[in-house]
Structure 1
Amino acid sequence: MKNCIGKELSKIPMPVNFNEPLSMLQRLTEDLEYHDLLDRAAKCESSLEQLCYVAAFTVSSYSTTVFRTSKPFNPILGETFELDRLEENGYRSICEQVSHHPPAAAHHAESKHGWILRQEIKITSKFRGKYLSIMPLGTIHCIFPATGNHYAWKKVTTTVHNIIVGKLWIDQSGEIEILNSKTGEKCILKFVPYSYFSRDVARKVTGEVLDSSGKVHYMLLGTWDEKMDCFKVTPGVENGGDSRQRAHEVEDSRVTLWKRNPLPKNAENMYYFSELALTLNAPESGTAPTDSRLRPDQRLMENGRWDEANAEKQRLEEKQRIARKKREAEAMKASDDGTPYDTYRPLWFERRKDPDTREVAHVYKGGYWESKEKQDWSMCPDIF
């Protein structure tokens, strides 16, 4: 471990013993556990109220991290993961590993309840000895097509403490700004870092929802592992008036936006997975041959066959290296005779500039669910 200090951990091969039996693509899909917050947001008539629900959804994605100290499997280039909950919950989601160095995953989910969620996340991490910092780079977009409201935000830094000695524990810290590019309204969320000396509640998150002129309309208060409440700010009251009256009025307007689902029984023996996480690696027929559920090292590890899983992981990494060298050789050959050659193109996503945020990112280009319906996976690479 000491040789890893200060290094980028995604480039260091780790044995599966550090892992949980899910890939990063499945982990990304877990952001959808509280999809009902977006269903409720889609029904809001006021965009400021909608922003409160989007903010609660943003915070809810951290609730699964509190006891999850094992790392997910790094996906192989071209690996995919689908989650089809159209019948039960009205949404479906597809992820694809679109780049290997730096590792990047693209995710697209849409719901018949009127929202689209998409993100491209690159994870960078630094090992500092006592703790590990994980910095997700990339923007998350939530779009409500009925109104054209388009919210965008970035994730905060996750820190894993006591890497070498003691019990591992996880903290989130930093600030998230969620901006509605259509209206200019925004929400600023502050994740307060844990302090041993603070009397404040641990894992605290505070937030303010502001209109385009910077006036506060709602206050948010809660913790990233339990719940988020929202209070309406009455105009004019903050400039004086009876403070007791104020506290009373604020308390009356309190609404609980989100509450964490309890963990399943015996969760401590199942990597502290939530109800959703427990279903993600269950074998399913009809998925693409590149789906994470078909990944052999992950399946062996889940079944407790550690040595075979480690050997299988090495085989897959070597296979990936050979494929990369072949692509590089083809690119060299192609450029010799002057034809431009793109070394790698994802199957279901393509790089595009976002008209609202002006960022270039991988966006879903369609075709996955149609291929699934026809059961035509002839275009899929052989990665396992």
Structure 2
Amino acid sequence: MGSPKKNQSKGFFAAMSSGLSMFGNAVHRSVNGMLGYEGLEVINPEGGKEDAEEEAQKGRWRQEDRDGYWKMMQKYIGSDVTSMVTLPVLIFEPMTMLQKMAELMEYSHLLDRADECEDPHMRLVYAASWAISVYYAYQRTWKPFNPILGETYELANHGGITFIAEQVCHHPPMSAGHAENDHFTYDVTSKLKTKFLGNSVDVYPVGRTRVTLKRDGVVLDLVPPPTKVNNLIFGRTWVDSPGEMVMTNLTTGDKVVLYFQPCGWFGAGRYEVDGYVYNAAEEPKVLMTGKWNESLSYQPCDLEGEPLPGSELKEVWHVADVPANDKFQYTYFAHKLNSFQTAPKKLLASDSRLRPDRYALEKGDLSKAGAEKSRLEERQRAEKRERESKDQKFTPRWFDPTDEVTPTPWGDLEVYSYNGRYMEHRAAADSSDSSSEIDVTSIEFNPWQYSDVSTE
């Protein structure tokens, strides 16, 4: 299904952004003057006037690091580099992909509102706004750590939510997550697929996201757009997610289609998102518009996509205040996810907070972070050899593999289901005698299935 603007041949809403299409894409310039980089594109989202070489020097890399990395990466152009490349720690943020999955919970009150809402179309307005809200955090240009097989992340003190995520497969990297409170359950199986293009990488979210609203048992399915990370090596790294996000009410057939505008000349269209909530007959009922880094609003519309007479454009979501000049562009919620202060009682030893490489990077010790990252990766390879020698398969603790294989726009996905055991564990931990509590920072990171594997 095309974007709302393609499906609506006329109307106020379609005209709102028709002028943006003339801008085309962001300014591309080739670094032709730099030895060994002929034809490598630097994409400036602001359409600046400086030449490509000047723009290319504005990245976070030192000259020697950038040159060495580029020589190493040239052979991977066109490949999926999700787990086949060892990356330098200087491009990482002190967070893992499992923690980044939990960032979807920041504005979970929108799902609470969706559950409480009786209007089926407004229900999708709230739920879709929740799905859009995480993109402010996703624009960060630092790479999160890939989770170790068996690694977990748990959050148990935000909006009544209990959240658990686990790395269920190493190659291809796959994660599973589950969250719930009194209003909803959230289940995701995620398998990223990438395509390295030289100075950029396309990221395809090969995943299945399902939200069940508890009051009426409504099931929502989410398909997000792909993401492009620009200027990986040369220039200022920035993120764009042009394309469609589709959320479908599998119970009623209603859906919302939101179109992320691609970044145009001089930044035109960047961050903008708009679309419609449709009923099961694919008739537009509510228009939605805004910027994924600022706010979203909605307004009832007629069958032509025009706002209904007498109706008003109303804001449904607005990004929360963020720390000024934060080194890693973190939100207050991201800092909360990393904090030991928010760790639940009897934190699992496999929790991402405990990773020594993540913790060292958070403290600013890049040398130790790099050494610890290498040590964890070697231990993971040793465990794989041990498992293969015993002809054993890794068994996740909190999620079970199913026979279900679901199609996605970017390939088939093997689905994992939450097995319910974590809620039992958390209930037992929360009811235990607190007098025996230990300092969580003293817990040694331990996601390993085998305790005595040699890395020699």
Q: Same fold (TM over 0.5)?
A: yes
Amino acid at match of 1:301: L
SS of equivalent to 1:34 = coil
Which deviates the most, 144-153 or 354-363? 354-363
Residue 51 of structure 2 corresponds to none
- Which stretch of the first structure deviates more once superposed, 5-14 or 217-226? 5-14
Q: CA deviation at 1:210?
A: 0.9
Q: Which runs of 5+ in 1 are unaligned?
A: 240-245, 332-341
- Paired position in structure 1 for 2:425: 371
Matched with 1:295 is 355
Separation in 1, partners of 2:152, 2:291:
32
The 2-side partners of 1:89 and 1:247 are apart by 34
1:167-246 aligned within 5 A: 167-196=236-265, 200-234=268-302, 238=304
CA contact (8 A) 2:210 2:219 kept: yes
Alpha-carbon spacing, 1:145–1:372, altered in 2? closer, same or farther (3 Å): closer
Change (3 A) 1:357 1:305: closer
C-alpha deviation, 1:145, in angstroms: 2.2
Match runs of 1:348-363 below 5 Å: 348-352=398-402, 360-363=414-417
1:51 aligns with 2:124: yes
Deviations 1:215-242 (A, max 9, x none): 111111111111111110146xx49xxx
Higher deviation after alignment, 21-30 or 114-123 = 114-123
Report the number of matched residues.
356
Decide whether the 8 Å contact of 1:137 with 1:155 is kept in 2: no
Amino acid at match of 2:191: K
Measure how far apart 1:6 and its partner are: 2.2
- Name the CA distance, whole Å, in 1 between partners of 2:407 and 2:378: 38
Residues 297 and 313, structure 1, Cα contact 8 Å, conserved in 2: yes
Please give the alpha-carbon distance, in whole angstroms, between the structure 2 residues aligned to 1:151 and 1:369: 23
Give, in whole Å, the separation in 2 of the partners of 1:156 and 1:348. Answer: 28
Taking the aligned partners of 2:244 and 2:313, their CA distance within structure 1 comes to 23
Q: Distance in 1 between matches of 2:402 and 2:121?
A: 29
Give the structure 1 partner of residue 101 of structure 2: 28
Change (3 A) 1:306 1:362: same
Question: Which of 239, 251, 260 lines up with 2:319 in the alignment?
Answer: 260
CA shift at 1:197, angstroms? 6.5
Give the letter aligned to residue 277 of structure 1.
Answer: A
Render the CA deviation track for 1:69-97: whole Å, top value 9, x for unaligned. Answer: 11000000000000012xx5121210000
In structure 2, distance between residues paired with 1:323 and 1:353: 26
Q: Is the 8 A contact 1:131 1:162 kept in 2?
A: yes
Secondary structure in 2 aligned to 1:249? coil
AA in 1 matched with 2:156: D
Alignment match, 2:335: 278
Q: Is the 8 A contact 2:150 2:448 kept in 1?
A: no
Q: Which residue identity does 1:265 align to in structure 2?
A: A
TM-score normalised to the size of structure 2?
A: 0.73
Partner Cα distance (1:304, 1:281) in 2: 15
- Structure 2 gap ranges (5+): 1-69, 433-442, 452-456
Show the counterpart of 2:42.
none
Aligned to 1:128: 197
Q: Would the alpha carbon gap of residues 152 and 354 (structure 1) be closer, same or farther in structure 2, given more than 3 Å must change?
A: farther
CA-atom RMSD, angstroms? 2.5
User: What amino acid maps onto 1:102 in structure 2?
Assistant: P
Cα displacement (A) at 1:357: 9.2
Equivalents in 1 of 2:307, 2:252: separation in Å? 30
